[in-house]
Structure 1
Amino acid sequence: MFLDHPGAVEPTNNGSERLLRPAVIQRKMTNGYRAMWAAEGEAAIRTVVDTARLTGSGSFGTILKTIGA
């Protein structure tokens, strides 16, 4: 894809790795989750907050819109 669209797509996945790093550090510090619902909830919230950050939206407002949808 990066060859077809030079400059639009990075040739590495460093951006994705950097976005995952806080979740990995949190998991290491807390030794993970004991319940699957807690892990899924954390992933859902982190996804909404990270997407809001990337689009320049407010995290709290985006969470409220997501819950209300």
Structure 2
Amino acid sequence: MLTFEGQKIQGSQSIFAKLTSLPFQRCQHSITTVDCQPSGAGGMLVFVSGKVCIQTPPAKKTKITWNL
């Protein structure tokens, strides 16, 4: 499941279609840290920090959390 600007998108083909339909052509990521912690029911919390550059510099700091 991907939630993008309030829109819930489910399934790998639908997520791929949404991401490839976005209006920018270039996106670069630079990962600074990756931290993982176990969560309930055998899951994992993954916290990633770094920088993202969409289209043109300067890059902006970003933090992303996944509940896997």
* TM-score, normalization by structure 1: 0.23
Query: Structure 1 or 2: larger strand share?
Result: 2
Q: Which structure is richer in relative contact order (CA contacts within 8 A, separation 6 or more)? A: 2
* Higher radius of gyration, 1 or 2: 1
